[in-house]
Structure 1
Amino acid sequence: MNINLNVKERILDVNGSDIHVVEQGEGPAVLLLHGFPDSWYLWRHQIPVLAEAGYRVIAPDQRGFGESDKPAEKGAYLMPALLDDILGVLDELDVKQTYIAAHDWGAIVGWMLAGMYPKKVKR
């Protein structure tokens, strides 16, 4: 399979942390949340397919993974901080509502996002 990884990478300052984000495509947003111990690269096969299908794909390295900050204190990894990171990413990218695809630990974050902020999540 020929994978087009012509992605846009950037570091966003979110809640005082640097969060690495990969984007590709235009259209309705799709947020991809990786699991443990992965990074955005877990989604390397899905990103170009979703972008070609007309979506704006957003794949952050969650806190503690990939090229995002890795705070030393355990409390930095509690669910409120993880949710605030994702909400901050969506705000920084001016995403009002998103689809979510999530795996493993990312699924827990995705479920919490959908449950606590249902207006942010389309499906």
Structure 2
Amino acid sequence: MANSEQKDLRVGTLNWVYRELIPDTPNNKPPVVMLHGLVCQSYSWRDVMPALGEYGFRSIAPDWIGHGSSSKPDIRQFDYKQETYIQALSDYLDALELDRFSLVVQGFLGVTGLLYAAQNPDKIERLIILNTPLPPTADLPFRVKMMGWPFVGDMMTQDPLLVDRTLEGAGPYQVADEDLDIYRRPFLKSSDVGRALMWTIRAMKVPQITEQIAQGFADWQPPTLVAWGQSDPWLSAEGAKDFANGLANGDYVGLDQVGHYAQEDWAEKVSEAIVPFLRQQDML
């Protein structure tokens, strides 16, 4: 079985660092693009990608701009607003020459992927949503909001231990030390990642975004799976079920004992949910 490789791609002034797994025996299906959430990285998909590769799926997982090893531009060059993120994502996917793909989104940054999908439904083969704000009642948790506050946010986002507190505070498990080391590394290398996180949170207006999602998905047709870590302390499973039930081709599956960062908490359960859903293409 092939392993994922870390690559980078320059798109305009931005450098995207991403993981890609090309299977030994491709299945000729559209590739799968996986987007991580706040205070996270493409590393979180490390155990899901081989499960997809086992069934012939090429998978691509980028570090968002401002996260991981991708560019962390100054706010004067990149304002970290949703429309700016959507355009950056669109440019990145175009540079990869992806005309059609399945999309997996997770977390609060996952809303960018959903808004992109709503604007480009013809590009989306299948959509998978993991613990991403969906109903109008969703909002950033208080502690994450604090990361965007003046003065307080400046201090919080420069502390590498915020990674531990955030990843472990959003689910029922401790993250292994060797994995936390990788998540902390960007914060230890440069203050830019903390500032980018602060600017991202400051610009994120979740109630307005979920309203845009509701409008954008009113006539959504591509098959969609909402797979939900039910031990998420931040986002309601009931809102996720309602969203899935409101789609023409939506389905919901609950992931027991899994938190907000589902792919980090229990990659096997995530894989068991999404691989059969993606393989259903064979029966269409």
Shorter-chain TM-score tier? 0.7 to 0.9
Q: Which residue is equivalent to 1:122? A: 125
Q: Which ranges of 4 or more aligned residues in structure 1 deviate by more than 6 Å?
A: none
Q: Which residue is equivalent to 1:14? A: 11
TM-score (norm 2): 0.40
Query: What is the CA-CA distance between 1:16 and the residue it aligns to?
Result: 1.4
| Cα deviation 1:19-76 (Å, max 9, x = unaligned) | 1111102442101000011000111111111111111101000010011001121753
TM-score (norm 1): 0.87
- CA RMSD in angstroms, aligned pairs only: 1.8
The share of aligned pairs that are identical, in percent, is 29
Query: What is the CA-CA distance between 1:5 and the residue it aligns to?
Result: 7.6
**Matched letter for residue 16 of structure 1:** T
Contact 2:2 2:53 in 1 (8 A): no
Contact 1:8 1:23 in 2 (8 A): yes
For residues 16-95 of structure 1, what are the structure 2 equivalents within 5 Å?
16-25=13-22, 26=26, 27=28, 28-73=30-75, 75-95=78-98
The structure 1 residue matched to 2:100, chosen from 97, 100, 112, is 97
* Residues 5, 39 of structure 1: alpha-carbon distance in 2 compared, 3 angstrom cutoff: farther
* Residues 116, 79 of structure 1: alpha-carbon distance in 2 compared, 3 angstrom cutoff: same
| Cα deviation 1:63-99 (Å, max 9, x = unaligned) | 1001100112175311122112222222222110111
Give the helix-richer structure, 1 or 2. Answer: 2
**Matched letter for residue 107 of structure 1:** G
Computing the radius of gyration from Cα coordinates, the structure with the larger value is: 2
Q: Distance in 2 between matches of 1:39 and 1:118?
A: 25
Q: Distance in 2 between matches of 1:104 and 1:24?
A: 22
Number of residue pairs aligned between Structure 1 and Structure 2 = 120
Q: Which residue is equivalent to 1:106? A: 109
Higher relative contact order (CA closer than 8 Å, sequence separation 6+): 1
Contact 1:22 1:59 in 2 (8 A): yes
1:86 partner SS = helix
Q: Distance in 1 between matches of 2:95 and 2:12?
A: 11
Specify every segment of 5 or more residues in structure 1 that has no aligned partner in the other structure, as ranges.
none
